[in-house]
């Protein structure tokens, strides 16, 4: 399979429509910040010869999967917002970062520079997973074993005992999220430890409390993003 996602037709708002909507919803200052972040992400791909920035909608992916109807499109986290947020959090030495729904792997590349012992990406689409593998190769991380892209459904990923920082950029609907929360709960049952959940664009944040109990919660806003960070 090629490391370039096949393009089927998907109707989406054009750049002018998106600009007008952003000016209307976010105002001038935030729209300018967003424009800078977008430009930075394009420059990232150009500098590293990677393919992370372009969106991929699920209808463009040529495969069948029972959880496809619950899957959100591949849209990368903006690099600027990710770095800003992660630099404001402190993790213990030897922490392991897991991106649930890692897509083309942009967040894996960024997290690999932040001192984690390992960075794991879970992506259910074989096509997107292959693009991530090619991106990791092109990006040339110094330690090849640092980044581990795994092609598997998020609900089936069995967490390892050292994995403690879990990242979600609104990857799927509630039914799949609940399956993932069961995996996290089971993992904590096997090996009690301190865990962080970093949830960008947190549409189902109540599900975490229902699934895991009341954890310490912090809210952040970066550019147009709302982010919730939970700690047990």
Ligand X SMILES: C[S@@+](CC[C@H](N)C(=O)[O-])C[C@H]1O[C@@H](n2cnc3c(N)ncnc32)[C@H](O)[C@@H]1O
The reply to whether 107 sits near ligand X by the rule CB under 6 A is yes
Q: Please name which of 70, 55, 64, 54 lies closest in space to residue 175, comparing C-alpha atoms.
A: 70
Please tell me the distance from the alpha carbon of residue 156 to that of residue 146, in angstroms, as a whole number: 22
Contact pattern from residue 123 through residue 152 relative to ligand X, giving x for each residue in contact according to CB under 6 A and a dash for the rest? xxx--x------------------------
CB distance 129 to 123 below 8 Å: yes
- Residues with Cβ within 8 Å of residue 3, at least 6 apart in sequence: 51, 130, 131, 133, 134
Cβ proximity to ligand X: between 20 and 158 the closer is: 158
Q: Which of 34, 102, 112, 164 binds ligand X (CB under 6 A)?
A: 102
String of DSSP letters for 108-167: HHHHTTTT-SEEEEEES-HHHHHHHHHHHHHHT-SSTTTEEEEES-GGGPPPPTTEEEEE
Residue among 169, 184, 179, 113 at smallest CA distance from 142: 113
For ligand X, the binding residues in 151-190 under the rule CB under 6 A are 153-154, 169-172, 176
Contact letters (x/-) for ligand X, 41-70, by CB under 6 A?
A: --------------------------x---
Residue with Cβ nearer ligand X (170 or 192) = 170
Minimum CB distance to ligand X smaller for 27 or for 40: 40
Q: Candidates 31, 45, 53, 74: give the one binding ligand X (CB under 6 A).
A: 74
- By beta-carbon proximity to ligand X, the closer residue of 80 and 106 is 106
Nearer to ligand X, 85 or 107 (CB): 107
């Amino acid at each position: 399979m090629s490391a370039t996602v096949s393009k089927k037709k998907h109707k989406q708002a054009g750049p002018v429509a998106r600009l007008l909507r952003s000016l209307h919803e976010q105002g001038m200052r935030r729209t300018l910040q967003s424009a800078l972040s977008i430009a930075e992400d394009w420059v990232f791909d150009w500098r590293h010869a990677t393919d992370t920035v372009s969106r991929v909608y699920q209808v463009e992916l040529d495969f069948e999967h029972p959880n496809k109807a619950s899957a959100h499109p591949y849209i990368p986290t903006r690099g600027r917002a990710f770095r800003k947020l992660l630099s404001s959090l402190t993790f213990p030495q030897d922490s392991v970062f897991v991106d649930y729904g890692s897509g083309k792997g942009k967040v894996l590349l960024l997290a690999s520079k932040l001192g984690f012992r390992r960075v794991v990406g879970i992506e259910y689409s074989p096509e997107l997973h292959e693009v991530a593998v090619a991106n990791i190769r092109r990006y040339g991380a110094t330690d090849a074993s640092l980044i581990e892209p795994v092609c598997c459904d998020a609900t089936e990923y069995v967490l390892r005992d050292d994995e403690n920082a879990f990242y979600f950029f609104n990857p799927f609907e509630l039914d799949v999220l609940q399956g993932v929360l069961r995996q996290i709960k089971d993992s904590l049952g096997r090996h009690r430890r301190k865990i962080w959940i970093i949830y960008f664009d947190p549409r189902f944040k109540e599900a975490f409390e229902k699934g895991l109990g009341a954890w310490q919660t912090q809210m952040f806003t970066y550019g147009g993003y709302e982010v919730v960070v939970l700690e047990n």
